[in-house]
A and B are shown apart, each in its own frame.
Chain A
């Protein structure tokens, strides 16, 4: 849309490609080509610099004008008795439009990464928790425990920006932070430099992290644990971690739901939250859950305030019905309980719709790979690149305004869905 060669530079750009929403990127644009000039991680570079193929809206694989595609999508939704709205990798405006359309069409709402987030929601709904946020952890944590998930791989700037931050509000009392990794093979390369003190590893197999965490909780409660090791981790090392946590001023236990490869992630999160609760009887401590990629936290929050429930809500009865087992889009597809899939993604082209024999209305970034041929395909813009928007960060507190960097004229999910709803 802009003159090729007229490079424009943008500062303080929020990055929508993971749940941390780092907002210190510098991006330059020449025509439709973006370049991450400063503060990009691998995910940011892949996201911002991806070449954008010129793609037209399509009906059954035929190029059509946008209005025709919108009309056909509306026809399919009108005809459907139980449309599934899946993917939901969009921004706040897009989620608002999803909720409105699902409410109107008696559909089911489920985010692509709901399964990973489900452990957190189960714990929130059964016991609750004590949590921190990114800035609080950055300034206050003296011990950071990485629990069973490869944070450095999933959130490449977490260590740089939070654990290894150059300065804190409480520099007078700052001591290099202890970092503890529970689980074997977690990328520890971020935990280096002058801000990091002891690095300790409890090297158990990833699928046995929940055993180690459960043993840690038991020891902290003063209960005996049989044997001299748990999942190959010496009991002495577990006891040492228990003392480290009890003696710390503000230990923070960090996990990323999508990375929890433990045998039972529900039990892992439960035990971590119990450890934090136990510590708070005498000292301060907190949990910190990362994740929230692909607009995941945004979907949970917007669905939460508009319907009262997290995603996996059905409007089939006219009122929102929350059933995290039944209203899973993968389960609904497998059980043949629908007649239409509306799949919405606007960040990575890799988050394509699942394989299904159902007719599919696909809103995706240009170049999105699909297993089958969608009935309707509408290329959409990426929030924070092609249009402005808002996203909610992994800690569920902070949200960022996303900028229009002027890369393309591809429409927002919100505007496409609003047009579809108007055409119903």
Chain B
């Protein structure tokens, strides 16, 4: 069937299109060149409306054991947001840690067509994929966590050749069906198991003797030389610790020009100035990001209300348990592989710290120049549930609205932030970069995040409303693979997205060491570790898209 989207204002930064009126043709799920001699079977008149590629969330905790721990731990949060079965959709629950089904529906209803789980423990990969398979509507993918696993730390401590480390990294991507590599508190999750309570960039791991800097340099080099498109995805040292802006600055300087993505950087941009020894380090971080082209970031914007933090960073999450609200939390040491910490959190606009966290995130958005290197995230659900994105977009696009909100927060926090002096307002073109073209380019999704010929027809259409929150909350149409799935913010067809993976080459010789390692030390044998393609496809329900990688260096 030939579908024509007629007369919309197209924002397609990957193809340099900034609001031009253009018709888009779709056939067999793909955007095609205007056909010369055929009439469309179905035409959508979009005059005056805004057309973008489907949005892509490059960092959202949607699948994996720690999310299900959060779900099981917080029945009181779900009870406030029950979701009934619809004539097309399944029942579930929403808010901070929504059920997988509801998460998929709500992403689609907001115009998102892909979301990436950024912290998949290899030991938990199978379950993470099960949960993502039960997240309908959107494409997904996952970043495999390395850097505190004993296999890698043993390699690093033994000063093994970088080629062996590369083989292990590549094997992990294959075995866990991941698209990128994440490191969380480099070496620190393991150090916490040895009762270290912090691990700064150049502190030594008590057992292995290596430092976070060693971990970052070897993993980022491995990722680059394997040809994986997305740079090493780094949750740095000292998350949430006042003064960690120094660590962040040292981390950026210490990467020696290697590509790196610093995630939820808001949580890593804290100074120690002022009476409360807590201040914004956003200006300094923004300056460093602006001057280091090898660095990209996402923000992890705090927005006020109840949520639940969930991280692989067991060390720092344990450190944050004093702030748990409600007062219950889970910390786990996991499989000589990683860990996790799940700590419910209520961000209050009248709290100095929470209000300043809010302001720091917005300062970062407004002070970092290049929208291709900054992505719009709340680190769902750590800083806020993803359902706040339309509100966040309005904060970025509407200075008057932003300043109104600034009036409502803790006045000391407002006064200690430069936010009121920042006049920048994001344009639709920049929003399209931050939420579509940028993440797609960074993750290496070659046919997503743009509207050029050959692109997958994941398309979102909005009314061009002055209230940008209303505009982005309720798209007029959302198409997935060329099918209309959402109309006026309501689901009209339930679909199942694909799983995106990367499969760089590696020397299978590494499997010999891994087989011996698992046999000697683990409780799951090597033969049962890898998640097979059949497990992802689940009786033809799911599908796999292998995204290209560059040649290994």
Chain A contacts to B: CB under 8 angstroms: 11-12, 14, 22-24, 92-93, 96, 100, 103-104, 121, 124-136, 138-140, 161-162, 167-170, 249-250, 280, 283-284, 286, 300-302, 304-310, 315, 317-322, 390, 392, 396-401
Judge whether B65 and A23 touch: CB under 8 Å: no
Q: Specify the main secondary structure of chain B where it touches its partner.
A: mixed
Cβ of B287 within 8 Å of any chain A Cβ, yes or no, is no
User: From residue 23 to 63 of chain B, which have CB atoms closer than 8 A to chain A?
Assistant: 63
In the bound assembly, the distance between CA atoms of A168 and B67 in angstroms comes to 30
- Residues of chain B with a CB closer than 8 A to A96's CB: 134
In the bound assembly, the distance between CA atoms of A406 and B28 in angstroms comes to 40
Judge whether B336 and A320 touch: CB under 8 Å: no
In the bound assembly, the distance between CA atoms of A306 and B522 in angstroms comes to 30
Judge whether A304 and B82 touch: CB under 8 Å: no
In the bound assembly, the distance between CA atoms of A131 and B126 in angstroms comes to 20
- Expressed in whole angstroms, the minimum distance between the Cβ of B254 and any Cβ of chain A is 28
User: From residue 511 to 530 of chain B, which have CB atoms closer than 8 A to chain A?
Assistant: 520-525, 527-528
- Expressed in whole angstroms, the minimum distance between the Cβ of B225 and any Cβ of chain A is 27
In the bound assembly, the distance between CA atoms of A401 and B328 in angstroms comes to 33
Cβ of B367 within 8 Å of any chain A Cβ, yes or no, is no
Judge whether A397 and B520 touch: CB under 8 Å: no
In the bound assembly, the distance between CA atoms of A264 and B528 in angstroms comes to 38
Judge whether A168 and B521 touch: CB under 8 Å: yes
Cβ of B84 within 8 Å of any chain A Cβ, yes or no, is yes
In the bound assembly, the distance between CA atoms of A284 and B197 in angstroms comes to 10
- Residues of chain A with a CB closer than 8 A to B521's CB: 135, 138-139, 167-169
Question: Which single member of B126, B523, B539 contacts A135 (CB below 8 Å)?
Answer: B523
- Expressed in whole angstroms, the minimum distance between the Cβ of B65 and any Cβ of chain A is 5
- Expressed in whole angstroms, the minimum distance between the Cβ of A31 and any Cβ of chain B is 25
- Residues of chain B with a CB closer than 8 A to A304's CB: 68, 71-72
User: From residue 277 to 327 of chain B, which have CB atoms closer than 8 A to chain A?
Assistant: 318, 324, 327
Judge whether A319 and B93 touch: CB under 8 Å: yes
Judge whether A136 and B83 touch: CB under 8 Å: no
Name the residue on B nearest A323 (C-beta).
B75
Cβ of B98 within 8 Å of any chain A Cβ, yes or no, is yes
> How many of chain B's residues have a CB under 8 angstroms from any CB in A?
68
Cβ of B90 within 8 Å of any chain A Cβ, yes or no, is yes
- Expressed in whole angstroms, the minimum distance between the Cβ of A25 and any Cβ of chain B is 10
In the bound assembly, the distance between CA atoms of A168 and B517 in angstroms comes to 10
In the bound assembly, the distance between CA atoms of A287 and B295 in angstroms comes to 40
Judge whether B193 and A136 touch: CB under 8 Å: yes
Judge whether A139 and B336 touch: CB under 8 Å: yes
Name the residue on B nearest A168 (C-beta).
B521
In the bound assembly, the distance between CA atoms of A386 and B354 in angstroms comes to 54
Question: Which single member of A130, A162, A169, A315 contacts B332 (CB below 8 Å)?
Answer: A130
Most A CB contacts (10 A, CB to CB) among B97, B522, B532 go to B522
- Residues of chain A with a CB closer than 8 A to B538's CB: 93
User: From residue 309 to 356 of chain B, which have CB atoms closer than 8 A to chain A?
Assistant: 318, 324, 327-337, 342
Query: Other than the known A131-B333, A320-B92, A398-B124, what 15 A-B pairs have Cβ atoms closer than 8 Å?
Result: A11-B527, A93-B539, A124-B73, A125-B75, A128-B324, A135-B524, A139-B521, A161-B523, A286-B333, A306-B90, A307-B92, A317-B82, A321-B82, A322-B75, A392-B127
Cβ of B425 within 8 Å of any chain A Cβ, yes or no, is no
Judge whether B72 and A133 touch: CB under 8 Å: no
In the bound assembly, the distance between CA atoms of A390 and B124 in angstroms comes to 13
Judge whether A132 and B332 touch: CB under 8 Å: yes
- Residues of chain B with a CB closer than 8 A to A138's CB: 521-523
Report 5 cross-chain contacts, Cβ distance below 8 Å, ordered by A residue. A127-B328, A304-B71, A306-B99, A320-B78, A397-B121
**Contacts A135-B336, A320-B82: A305 and B67 contacting too (C-beta < 8 A)?**
yes
User: From residue 216 to 275 of chain B, which have CB atoms closer than 8 A to chain A?
Assistant: none
Q: Specify the main secondary structure of chain A where it touches its partner.
A: mixed
Cβ of B15 within 8 Å of any chain A Cβ, yes or no, is no
In the bound assembly, the distance between CA atoms of A356 and B134 in angstroms comes to 34
- Residues of chain B with a CB closer than 8 A to A280's CB: 318, 331
In the bound assembly, the distance between CA atoms of A318 and B82 in angstroms comes to 9
In the bound assembly, the distance between CA atoms of A319 and B78 in angstroms comes to 11
Judge whether B93 and A284 touch: CB under 8 Å: no
Judge whether B333 and A319 touch: CB under 8 Å: no
Judge whether A319 and B91 touch: CB under 8 Å: yes
Judge whether A125 and B92 touch: CB under 8 Å: no
In the bound assembly, the distance between CA atoms of A149 and B324 in angstroms comes to 31
In the bound assembly, the distance between CA atoms of A283 and B130 in angstroms comes to 35
Name the residue on B nearest A320 (C-beta).
B91
- Residues of chain A with a CB closer than 8 A to B126's CB: 390, 398-401
- Residues of chain A with a CB closer than 8 A to B424's CB: none
Question: Which single member of B195, B532, B539 contacts A284 (CB below 8 Å)?
Answer: B195
**Contacts A167-B521, A310-B72: A12 and B527 contacting too (C-beta < 8 A)?**
yes
In the bound assembly, the distance between CA atoms of A22 and B527 in angstroms comes to 13
Name the residue on B nearest A22 (C-beta).
B523
Name the residue on B nearest A23 (C-beta).
B528
Judge whether A128 and B333 touch: CB under 8 Å: no
- Residues of chain B with a CB closer than 8 A to A399's CB: 124, 126-127, 130
Cβ of B131 within 8 Å of any chain A Cβ, yes or no, is yes
- Residues of chain A with a CB closer than 8 A to B100's CB: 305-306
Name the residue on A nearest B135 (C-beta).
A305
Name the residue on B nearest A388 (C-beta).
B534
Question: Which single member of A22, A125, A250, A320 contacts B93 (CB below 8 Å)?
Answer: A320
- Residues of chain A with a CB closer than 8 A to B69's CB: 124, 396
- Expressed in whole angstroms, the minimum distance between the Cβ of A195 and any Cβ of chain B is 14
